[in-house]
C-alpha cells in the first residue's frame, strides 16, 4: 500500500539518515577485514595504504588512479551492502514506515502538486545535503595525529617511524614463528 510519493520519501529518509550510519559500520568492517589481510600479504602490489579513504596520492604527491579506483570499488561494496540492509529494514517495517510517511505527507494530499514539490525537491535537497555532510566527515582524508584502533594492534612492537611497512615486518615475523 501507500502512494509512490510516500515510498520515495521513506526510501530517501532511511537511506540518508540510518543508511549513513550503516555505511560507516560496513566501512569499518571492510577496513578491519581487508587492511589486516593486506598488511600480512607479501605481494608488494597490495598496499594497505591504498585503502586510506580520502587519500588518493602517493607519498611523492602524485595522484594514484589505482588508489582512487580501489577506494571507489570498496565504497561501492559498502553502499551495496547498505542498500540491501535498508531494503530489508524497509520491507520488515513497511507498515510503520508508511504510517510515518502518511503522517508527515498526509497534510499535502489535498494539494498534489505541492506534495510533489515537497517530495521531489525539498526532501531530497535536505536529506542529500545531510547525507553528503555526514559521509564527508568519515570519508575525507583525515589528519592523523594518533594511531587508529585498527592500526594499533598491528603496530605494537613496531617503530612508529616505519608505518605500514614496519607493521608488515612485525606481523610477518610473528606469523613466521
SS3 string of 133-146?
Answer: HHHHHHHCCCCCCC
Q: What is the spatial distance between Cα 167 and Cα 40, in angstroms, rounded to a whole number?
A: 9
Name the residue with cell 589528519: 143
pLDDT at position 48: 74
Q: What is the mean pLDDT of each run of 10 residues along the chain (177 residues)?
A: 86 93 91 73 70 85 89 92 95 93 91 92 93 85 51 48 48 48
Output the pTM of the full model.
0.69
Beta bridge partners of 57: 63
pLDDT at position 36: 72
pLDDT at position 44: 64
Amino acid at each position: 500500500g501507500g502512494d509512490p510519493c510516500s515510498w520515495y520519501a521513506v526510501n530517501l529518509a532511511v537511506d540518508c539518515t540510518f543508511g549513513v550510519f550503516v555505511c560507516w559500520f560496513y566501512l569499518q568492517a571492510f577496513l578491519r577485514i581487508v587492511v589486516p589481510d593486506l598488511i600480512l600479504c607479501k605481494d608488494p602490489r597490495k598496499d594497505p595504504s591504498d585503502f586510506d579513504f580520502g587519500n588518493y596520492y602517493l607519498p611523492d604527491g602524485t595522484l594514484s588512479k589505482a588508489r582512487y579506483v580501489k577506494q571507489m570499488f570498496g565504497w561501492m561494496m559498502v553502499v551495496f551492502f547498505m542498500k540491501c540492509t535498508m531494503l530489508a529494514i524497509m520491507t520488515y517495517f513497511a507498515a510503520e514506515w508508511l504510517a510515518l510517511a502518511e503522517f508527515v505527507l498526509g497534510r499535502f494530499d489535498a494539494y498534489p502538486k505541492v506534495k510533489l514539490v515537497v517530495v521531489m525537491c525539498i526532501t531530497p535537497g535536505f536529506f542529500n545535503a545531510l547525507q553528503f555532510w555526514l559521509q564527508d566527515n568519515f570519508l575525507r582524508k583525515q589528519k592523523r595525529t594518533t594511531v587508529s584502533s585498527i592500526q594499533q594492534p598491528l603496530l605494537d612492537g613496531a617503530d612508529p617511524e616505519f608505518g605500514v611497512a614496519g607493521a608488515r615486518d612485525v606481523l610477518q615475523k610473528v606469523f613466521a614463528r
